[in-house]
A and B are shown apart, each in its own frame.
Chain A
Amino acid sequence: MRSLQLQRGLVFCLACALPWLTGCEKHPAHSHDHEPQELITTVLVHVWDEPDSVHTHLFAFRDLDGPGGAEPTVDTIHLHSDKQRWRLRLDFLNEAVEPPDTITAEIRAKGTYHQVFYELSPELQSMLELERLDVDANGMPLGLEARMTVRQQKEARGYLRIRLFHYEGRKTLEPGGETDVDVRFPVHVMSD
């Protein structure tokens, strides 16, 4: 009798342990997934003199390894104050994938959910003026393209803050929704 009980117990234990031994779940060491991808790694600012659009200058904010890794690299935007009007165009890229992915077209296509805001540091506000040029399908500002007008010819240093917002509901003229991008470019206005 006791032997029969023992056998039953052993069969029960083995039946229960079998799935464990065979292991029917994904093994943590053998995930077939790819390396994680960042959403937006790079903001490019294309700058050119409006009357003379042949020469375009490129300034970048890059954070290829995401939050918490190496510090982002940021270019300083250099402007000549003798030029009265500068044009700006933004590009948002994912450079963590090969080939790099351009996200700007998608932002433009979903323009009714997005808006770019430009903000100058106090020391630049009196000598530079920023105006967004493009609009979405509803006629609301989009901000992927802008014009910067120089009001005073003197040297100054400050920063330009560029923010991209994603609106869940109705887009307004105020910053709102969720912040997708929030970067600051150092700006050096040269008096020549």
Chain B
Amino acid sequence: MRILCVVCLSVGVAWALPRVELVVRDSAGQPIPGARVLLDRLRQGYVTDASGRVVWQNLPAGRYRFVVSHLGFRTYELEATIWRDTTLTCVLVAEAVALPELTVEGERESPLSVSSVPILRIGPRELDVHRGQSVGELLWMIPGAGSIATGPAIAKPTLRGMTGERLVVLSDRLPLQGQNWGIEHAPELDPLLVGSVEVLRGTAAVQYGTEALAGVIRFVPASLRVESGLRWQVRLEGFSVNRQGAAALWTEGAHGPVGWQMLLSARRAADARTPHYWLANTAFEQYNGAATVHYRLREHTSVRGRLQLYTGRLGVFAGMHLGNLSDLERALQAGRPLVERPPSYEISPPFQRIEHLLGELVAESEGSSAGRWMLLFAWQQNRRREYDAHRLWGDESSGRRAAYDVTQTTWNMRAELQRSWLAGLSSLALDVRRQGNVSEGRDRFVPNSLSHLLGVGVWQQWVWGTWHAFVGVRADMVWLSVWQFRGGSRDERPHRWEGTALSAALRKSWRQWELRGSIATGWRSPNAVELYAHGVHHGAAILEIGDTTLASERLWMGELAGAYRARSWQAEVTAFLYWFPRYIGAMPTGQTALTIRGAFPVFSYRALPAFIAGIEVQLQAELTTWLRLELQGASLRGWRRDDGSALYGIPPARLAGRLHAHVPSAEETFVELGCSVVGRAQSSPLDFAPAPPGYVLWEAATGLQYRLRAGLLSLSVHVRNLLNRAYRDYMSRLRYFAEEPGRTLALRVEWQW
């Protein structure tokens, strides 16, 4: 029973390392509860829980043999070298059925597990219940993570107050390359495509390059099936706050060495409702498709191809579009939206139209004598069109023309190699990237540009008993060419930057305690917007001017963390400090520019010294065999060193708790109550209005699962903002103009067979 308690702890956000999870399933993909697992090195036996899992927290590094047996199935033996976070899936074959030899679904070790810093995870079960309307909402359970929202459908992930080109967002192994510069540019990914979420907090520039200054967020697709057969899943979702409906059809199968998976999803929503009014023109629609084919060349070597399409039309709140500063002042003074209308599914200007097509080929080998290697080639094309509320004068006959129309095409190549060397594990990563931007809209806020990146990182890890050490170095070079219109012709302006990143970490485990510390430095080159922006940002009513002489951004980070893990509870505290000798941002110049639309404050991109510091806490306690308490919180501060003023966009302090009760033998049947307390953010001189006051939100959820002869039926209900509180959130751009959406009842039905 105590083991069961420990197993239950793994359901939520987990951080223990090395942590090993063994999942036992039958050939139909169903979990096998009660299977016996013998771990020879520990000379101990375990039994899988109701979800067919056994979890070992803090398993000492080494090579283990797992013997899995269950009545009616062939006994299976698996050997694996455990030195970091690992998930093993074991498929047992029925004795009486003649099927191909049982297979192991490639050890799904997280690719983020490349340092001493633990990976925070939100597993499939958690996501199924709390999945929101956008991928940004998936992150609220991770301390330090969150999102910047521009309405219900647009949420850009943030980590420790950083986003865009300071944060790597992975779709499986591939960095998602949307147009990262704008805070209203969210990742082009439907939450229904996400199987789980992993977050690596802290600078990971050595492993993931110049953009991993804040860390890495990885949206992991559902793992591929490798046993023969066909499986289907239908998922339906409904959200009351905006009359939203979403549907997804998912199928997967395997035949011999070939496995495949396909997903289609659609989502349509009307205008969202706050406690007092409707948010005009926040309707949206999204359509997604993904197909993956997996070919197993040998026992540990495979090739995988993936094609993914996202297309969406996202309405932008009509009360948010500004002609000039007077419009903004009028909106701020009004107290409620200046534009209101009856709710509708109609999407009218201003809106965003986005298409993102992604194709990748991955070849990888795990556990061979040559070590582990991976080769990834990918192509992504992101076209974003943004339509202003105002039509183009004199353009009636040719129809509407997008104010902003940028197509970004990115080629990625990444090679990774890992092998034992120097009494530890050595890793090498090579990244090559080519990225082009072509601007065809009415406004040319972003110039045409072409960039190339070449980066090489090497790092080494050692495990000596209870000590774990990490050290790594990386060098990157970035070339950028920008074309600008001048006098009817295009001028090319070349730029080049190079820089290095270093990282070192040390972790020590001692009984139930763990202490770790790390230091890192990284850099990033300024992007084309920071260099060449020149125009009015109508969402903010400012005139932004780039600086072509900007030097690259540099960062130093120090982090210290301590954790205590008892058998039925665990807690962790992390403190960190980021020091930017050069922090690039749009800063006010104190000047105004006179235009035909009135006067606009002038902001120019500058590199200034700045700090970001914070603390994150996390607690999980298994109060009884059926009741669990989870708490997580984060507090962050960011300020400029030269004048001490607060940085813009640093999230307010937040504490979230959840009480989760479930049937001891079936965790899928549960009831939970949650509460989030959010403080007031720092006021920044870059802001138009003071930070809104803090707020408290309650939420509740319940779910159950039926095992039918024809398959598995899951139902869940989740209510956010239970008390329908009217509030404004600092991390939402709606806050200047309107309240956040009110009570949201989310109903989910999932049927798999």
Stretch at the interface among B108-116, B205-213, B435-443, B663-671: B435-443
Q: Which one of A48-56, A121-129, A147-155, A174-182 is at the B interface? A: A174-182
B323 touches A28 (CB 8 A): no
Q: Which residue of B lies closest to A94 (CB)?
A: B393
Complex Cα distance A182/B411, Å? 44
Expressed in whole angstroms, the minimum distance between the Cβ of B343 and any Cβ of chain A is 14
Who on chain A is nearest to B409 by CB? A25
Residues of B within 8 A of A35 (CB): 485, 488
Let me know if A61 is at the binding interface, CB within 8 A. yes
CB <8 Å contact, A28 and B595: no
Contact check, A16 vs B543: say whether CB atoms are below 8 A apart: no
The complex places the Cα of A26 from the Cα of B450 at a distance, in Å, of: 11
Are B390's CB and A68's CB within 8 A?
Answer: no
Contacts of B449 in A (CB 8 A): 28
Q: Which interface class (under 10, 10 to 19, 20 to 34, 35 or more) fits B?
A: 35 or more
- Find out whether the CB atom of A40 lies under 8 angstroms from the CB atom of B545: no
A35 to B490, CA, bound (A): 10
A101 at the interface (CB under 8 A from B): yes
Q: Determine whether the beta carbon of A28 is less than 8 Å from that of B437.
A: yes
A28 touches B483 (CB 8 A): yes
With an 8 A cutoff between CB atoms, is B25 at the interface? no
How extensive is the interface on chain A, given as a class? 35 or more
With contact pairs A179-B327, A182-B326 given, residues A101 and B394 touching in the complex (Cβ less than 8 Å): yes
Q: Are A68 and B597 in contact (CB under 8 A)?
A: no
Q: Say whether B594 contacts A179, CB under 8 Å.
A: no
Contacts of B389 in A (CB 8 A): 166, 168, 178
Instruction: Tell me whether A183 and B596 are in contact (CB under 8 A).
Output: yes
Q: Chain A's nearest CB lies how many Å from the CB of B604? A: 10
With a 10 A CB-CB cut-off, give which of A66, A68, A176 has the most chain B CB atoms. A68
B377 touches A67 (CB 8 A): no
- Chain B residues with CB under 8 Å of A103's CB are 393-394
B535 on the A face (CB < 8 A) = yes
**Contact status B436-A27, CB under 8 Å:** yes
- B393 near A72 (CB under 8 angstroms)? no
Are A182 and B598 in contact (CB-based, < 8 A)? yes
Residue pair A175, B330 in contact (C-beta under 8 Å): yes
B249 within 8 A of A: no
Q: B440 touching A31 by the CB < 8 A rule?
A: yes
Contact, CB under 8 Å: B485 / A101: no
Residues of A with C-beta under 8 A to B409:
25-26
A40 to B323: give the CA distance in the assembly, Å: 13
B461 at the interface (CB under 8 A from A): no
Q: Do B598 and A67 touch (CB < 8 A)?
A: no
Interface centre among A19, A37, A67 (most CB of B within 10 A): A67
Q: Which residues of A contact B390 (CB under 8 A)?
A: 39, 166, 178, 180
In residues 533-570 of chain B, which contact A (Cβ within 8 Å)? 534-536, 543, 545
Within 8 A of B (CB), among A148-169: 165-166, 168-169
Measured in the bound complex, the distance between the Cα atoms of B340 and A43 in whole Å is 31
A46–B483 Cα distance when bound, in Å, is: 41
Residues in A with CB closer than 8 Å to B485 are 35-36
Question: Could you tell me if B593 and A16 are in contact, using CB atoms closer than 8 angstroms?
Answer: no
8 tightest CB-CB pairs across the interface, nearest first? A179-B323, A182-B598, A16-B377, A28-B448, A25-B409, A178-B323, A67-B595, A179-B324
22 A-B residue pairings within 8 Å (CB atoms) = A12-B303, A13-B375, A16-B361, A20-B379, A26-B438, A28-B436, A29-B448, A31-B438, A31-B439, A31-B490, A40-B596, A63-B594, A67-B543, A94-B393, A101-B393, A106-B393, A168-B318, A175-B330, A178-B322, A179-B323, A180-B323, A183-B598
> Could you tell me which A residues sit within 8 Å of B by CB distance?
9, 12-13, 16-17, 19-20, 25-29, 31, 33, 35-43, 61, 63, 66-68, 71-72, 94, 101, 103, 106, 165-166, 168-169, 175-183
